[in-house]
Amino acid sequence: MAQLRKIAIVGSARIPFCRAYTGYANETNLSMLTAALAGVADKYGLKGQAVNEVMGGAVISHSRDFNVAREAALDAGFSPRTPGTNLQIACGTSLQAALNLGAKIASGEIDSAIACGTDTVSDSPIVFGSKFQHRLVDLNRARTPQEKLAAFRGFTLGELTPVAPSTQEPRTGLSMGEHCELMARQWGITREAQDELALASHINAAKAYDAGFHDDLIVPCAGVLKDNNVRADTSLAKMAVMKPAFDKSSGHGTLTAANSTPLTDGASAVLLASEEWAKARDLPILAYLSFGQVAANDFAHGEGLLMAPTIAVSEMLKRAGLTLQDFDLYEIHEAFAAQVLCTLKAWEDPDYCKNVLGRDAPLGTVDRTKLNPKGSSLAYGHPFAATGARILGLAAKEVATEMKQRALISVCTAGGQGVAAIIERAA
C-alpha cells in the first residue's frame, strides 16, 4: 500500500460576508461561489487550468442550484475538465468537503482540489404547499383541456400561500436558537458571559482588519469590499439592551441578536494540494491538514443540538495522540456565543467527559487568549456552508504568518453533528 501523502493548504479566497438583504440582495449561490472560486483562480494562476476536483455546496438552495460546485467552477474560468461535486452537511459543509478532498489527496487519487461553500438567505427559495404543488404536477401531465381543468378542481386561494424555508429541526420542531437556549440553561451560561465573548469577537475582527490581515483573503463581489457585520464600535452596554431573540416569554432568555450570528450571505473557497503539485507550480504551502473528524449525538433526547463537536474533537485528539492543550490556536465556530461557552465547559466537566466522551479525566481548559484571536462568526457573520472554508483559510494563514505550530478547528452543525480538524504549520 502506498504511503499517505501530506495534504497541503495552499491558500484561500472568500467574498466579503454581508448581512442578509443588504449587499448581496440581488446575488445567488452560484454568482457568489463563482466570485470566490474566481478569486482562487486569479490568486494562484489557475485560470483555464484544471483542478482535480471542486467540492462544496449550499444549505439553502434552489432547484436551479444544480451541482453548484461544478457550475461555479466553470463560470469562474477553470478548465471544463475540472469536475465538481455537491456536498451538504449544514454549517460544516465546506470543512467536511476539505476533509473528503484531503483524503483523496492523501491516498494519491487526486493532486489538487478546492473545498468551498456558499449560502444566501436573501435569495431563499419560496415554495408552495404540497396541495398546490400536486396540482401543478397534474397540470404538467395533463394532455387534454378536460384533464387540465380537472387539475384545479376544488382550488382555493389559500393554496397559494407560500411556505418559507424553515429553521426548525425536523425531529424536535425547535429552531437552532431555541435549542441553544436549552444548552445555555443546562450548562449555566450567563447572558453576561455570552455578551463578553461576542464583544471580543467584534474587537478581534476589527483589529485584524485594521492590521491588514484580510487584505489577501477577501475578493470583492457585487461592489462589496469588506464584511459589513463587524462592529468595531459596539460595547457591553449596547449589547445589554438587546432583548432575547429566541426565548421571548419565560423571562430567562439569554440569547440575543448581539450574541448570536446574524443571517448572512457569502461564499468561500480553499485550495488544497499534494506537496508535489504545489511545488511544481511554485505555489505556497501555508499549512498541512493533518486530522479531521465528524461526529453526531442524540440531540433529540437531551444531548444538546450543538454539542457534537465536543465528541468530534475528543475522538480526533485520541487518534492524533494530542491533548486539548497542545495547540497554539483554537478556531471554534461561533454559531452562538453560548455554544462556544457550553463546549468549553463540557470539556472541563468530569461527568460529561466520562459519560459522553468516554474519558477517564476531563479534556481540560482552553487558553482564552488563543481562542478566535482574529474574531469569528459572531463578528464576520455565518453564511452556513461557507463558514468552514472561511475558518480553514484564516487559520492556515494565521499559523503560517504568526509562527503558530498547530491549530484546532471545530464547527457545530444543525442535525446534532460536528466537524473538527487539525492543521499544522508547514515550516
C-alpha cell at 292: 479531521
Residue in 90, 92, 103, 91 with CA at minimum distance from that of residue 53: 103
What contacts 24+ positions apart, CB below 8 Å, involve 207-216?
A: 207/374, 207/375, 208/374, 208/375, 213/374, 213/397, 216/43
91 as an active site residue: the answer is yes
Count of structural domains within the chain: 2
The reported pLDDT for the residue numbered 175 is 93
Q: Do 208 and 131 fall into the same domain?
A: no
353 is catalytic: no
Beta bridge partner(s), residue 55: 85, 115
DSSP 88-127: -BTBTHHHHHHHHHHHHHHHTS-SEEEEEEEE-STT---E
Q: What is the pLDDT of residue 62?
A: 85
Domain assignment present for residue 239? The answer is no
Helix (H, G, I), strand (E, B) or coil at 312: helix
Within a domain: residue 195? yes
Do 154 and 199 belong to one domain? no
Task: Flag whether 268 is in a domain.
Answer: no
Contact of 180 with 343, CB cutoff 8 Å: no
151: containing domain: 127-163
Contacts of 327 (CB under 8 A, 6+ apart): 370, 406, 407, 408
Q: Which of 104, 139, 163 is the last residue of a domain?
A: 163
* Residue-level pLDDT at 127: 74
Q: Are residues 135 and 185 in the same domain?
A: no
- Tell me, yes or no, if 333 is annotated catalytic: no
Catalytic residue among 202, 214, 333, 382: 382
CA distance 30 to 364: 42
Q: Could you say which of 18, 180, 221, 412 is catalytic?
A: 412
What per-residue confidence (pLDDT) applies to 166?
66
Domain membership flag for residue 45: no
- Would you say residue 388 lies in a domain? yes
The answer to whether residues 414 and 340 belong to one domain is yes
308 and 351, same domain (yes or no): yes
What's 304's domain CATH number? 3.40.47.10
Packing angle, helices 337-348 and 308-320, rounded to 10: 50
Per-residue confidence (pLDDT) for residue 73, from 0 to 100:
98
For residue 80, tell me if it sits in a domain: no
Evaluate whether residue 385 is within a structural domain: yes
Examine the domain organization and report whether 197 and 334 are in the same domain.
yes
Q: Are residues 181 and 154 in the same domain?
A: no
> Quick check: is 314 in a domain?
yes
Q: Which of 163, 188, 221 is the last residue of a domain?
A: 163
Tens digit of pLDDT per residue, the chain (427 long)? 578 999 999 999 999 999 999 999 999 999 999 999 999 999 999 999 999 999 999 999 888 888 999 999 999 999 999 999 999 999 999 999 999 999 999 999 999 999 999 999 999 887 777 888 888 888 889 899 888 888 888 888 887 777 766 678 999 999 999 999 999 999 999 999 999 999 999 999 999 999 999 999 999 999 999 999 999 999 999 999 999 999 999 989 999 999 999 999 999 999 999 999 999 999 999 999 999 999 999 999 999 999 999 999 999 999 999 999 999 999 999 999 999 999 999 999 999 999 999 999 999 999 999 999 999 999 999 999 999 999 999 999 999 999 899 999 999 999 999 999 999 999 7
- 156 with 186, same domain: the answer is no
For 356, phi then psi, to 5°, come to: -100, -45
pLDDT recorded at residue 156:
86
pLDDT score of 165: 65
Catalytic residue, chosen from 18, 91, 180, 353, is: 91
